[in-house]
Amino acid sequence: MFGTDPFWLVLVKTVVVFIGLVVIVMLTIWFERRVVGRMQNRIGPNRAGPQGLLQTLVDGIKLALKEEIIPITAHKAVYWLAPFLSAFAAFAAFAVIPFGPTVSMFGIETQLQLADFPQSVLYLLAVASIGIYGIVLSGWASGSTYPLLGGLRSSAQMISYELAMSLSFVAVFMYAGSMSTSEIVIAQEQLWFCVLLLPSFVIYVTAMVGETNRAPFDLPEAESELVGGFHTEYSSMKFAMFFLGEYINMITVSSIATTLFLGGYLAPWPFSLIPGINEGWWTILFWFVKVVLFVFMYVWLRGTLPRYRYDQFMAFGWKVLIPFALAWVVLTAAVRAFAIEYFEDVNMLLLGVGVMLVGVFIYLVYLQIRDARRAREPEPELPSGPMNLENEGFPVPPLPGQTFEYTPRASTTVSGGTEQEEVTDG
Amino acid sequence: MNVYIPILTMAGLGGLFALFSISIAPITGPKRYNRAKVDAYECGIDPTPQPIGGGRFPVKYYLTAMMFIIFDIEIVFLYPWAVYFDTLALFGFLAVLLFIVNLTIPYVYEWRRGGLDWD
Is pLDDT of A421 > 60? no
**Which is higher by pLDDT, B90 or A252?**
A252
Residue A423 within any structural domain of the chain: no
Residue A386 within any structural domain of the chain: no
3-class secondary structure, A100: strand
Is pLDDT of A97 > 80? yes
Residue A158 within any structural domain of the chain: yes
pLDDT for position A416: 44
Is pLDDT of A377 > 80? no
**C-alpha closest to that of A67 among B24, B37, B26:** B26
Q: Are A258 and A264 in contact (CB under 8 A)?
A: yes
The answer, for A372 touching chain B at a CB cutoff of 8 Å, is no
Tell me whether residue A407 is exposed, middle or buried, using C-beta atoms within 10 angstroms of its C-beta: 0 to 12, 13 to 18, 19 or more. Answer: exposed
Letter string b/e over residues A302-321, b meaning 16 or more CB atoms within 10 A of that residue's CB: beeeebbeeeebbbbbbebb
pLDDT for position A393: 57
Rounded mean pLDDT of A207-231?
79
Q: What is the mean pLDDT of chain A?
A: 81
Q: Are A140 and B55 in contact (CB under 8 A)?
A: no
Residues of A in contact with B119 (CB under 8 A): 311
**Which is higher by pLDDT, A419 or A27?**
A27
* Amino acid letter, residue A164: A
Is pLDDT of A164 > 80? yes
Rounded mean pLDDT of A207-230?
79
Distances (CA, A) of B56 to A78, A140, B48: 19, 12, 13
Q: What residues have CB less than 8 Å from A356, skipping those under 6 apart?
A: none
pLDDT band at A425 (very low <50, low <70, confident <90, very high): very low
Of the candidates B10, B71, B92, the beta carbon closest to that of A94 is on B10
**C-alpha closest to that of A241 among A89, A128, A97, A127:** A89
> How close A102 gets to chain B, by Cα (Å)?
16
| Mutation target vs B (from A59, A179, A182, A236; most B CBs, 10 A cutoff) | A236
* Cα gap A7→A96, rounded to integer Å: 17
Q: What residues have CB less than 8 Å from B76, skipping those under 6 apart?
A: none
Lowest model confidence (mean pLDDT) among A47-51, A104-108, A148-152: A104-108
Is pLDDT of A35 > 60? yes
> How close B102 gets to chain A, by Cα (Å)?
13
pLDDT band at A388 (very low <50, low <70, confident <90, very high): low
pLDDT for position A159: 87
Tell me whether residue B95 is exposed, middle or buried, using C-beta atoms within 10 angstroms of its C-beta: 0 to 12, 13 to 18, 19 or more. Answer: exposed
Residues of B in contact with A338 (CB under 8 A): 90
Is pLDDT of A176 > 90? no
3-class secondary structure, A111: strand
pLDDT for position A148: 83
Q: Consecutive 10-residue runs of chain B (119 residues): their mean pLDDT?
A: 82 90 84 80 72 66 87 90 85 89 90 82
* Cα gap A136→A230, rounded to integer Å: 8
Rounded mean pLDDT of A102-127?
82
DSSP label of A397? P
Is pLDDT of A136 > 90? no
> How close B26 gets to chain A, by Cα (Å)?
6
The domain in which residue A176 lies consists of 7-271+278-374
Rounded mean pLDDT of A101-123?
81
**Which is higher by pLDDT, A6 or A82?**
A82
Maximum average pLDDT range among A23-32, A48-57, A63-72 = A23-32
Give just the sign of the alpha carbon dihedral A68, A72, A77, A81.
negative
CB contact (8 A) between residue A65 and residue B42: no
| H or E element that contains A102 | strand A100-105
pLDDT for position A135: 86
Rounded mean pLDDT of A360-364?
82
Is pLDDT of A342 > 50? yes
Interface of A with B in 170-199 (CB under 8 A): 170-171, 173-174, 177-179
Q: Are B57 and A152 in contact (CB under 8 A)?
A: yes
- What CATH number has the domain spanning B55-119? 1.20.58.1610
CB contact (8 A) between residue A173 and residue B119: no
pLDDT for position A422: 45
Helices and strands per DSSP (H, E), number in chain B: 3, 0
Distances (CA, A) of A422 to A218, A417, A418, A419, B3: 50, 9, 6, 5, 83
pLDDT in tens, A273-331: 777 777 777 888 888 999 999 999 999 998 888 888 888 888 888 888 898 899 888 88
pLDDT band at A348 (very low <50, low <70, confident <90, very high): low
Residue A421 within any structural domain of the chain: no
* Cα gap B86→B81, rounded to integer Å: 9
CB contact (8 A) between residue A341 and residue B90: yes
* Cα gap A151→A227, rounded to integer Å: 12
Beta bridge partners of A111: A102
Question: How many domains are contained in chain A?
Answer: 1
DSSP label of A316? I
The answer, for A344 touching chain B at a CB cutoff of 8 Å, is no
Q: What residues have CB less than 8 Å from A90, skipping those under 6 apart?
A: A131, A244, A245, A248, A249, A252, B14
pLDDT for position A343: 67
Residue A418 within any structural domain of the chain: no
pLDDT in tens, A187-196: 888 888 888 8
Distances (CA, A) of A71 to A24, A135, A263, B37, B89: 33, 17, 47, 8, 58
pLDDT for position A338: 79
Rounded mean pLDDT of A225-254?
85
pLDDT for position B25: 81
Is pLDDT of A391 > 80? no
Rounded mean pLDDT of A253-273?
84
Alpha helices in A263-379 (DSSP H): 269-272, 283-304, 310-315, 322-342, 347-374
How many residues comprise chain B? 119
Rounded mean pLDDT of A65-84?
86
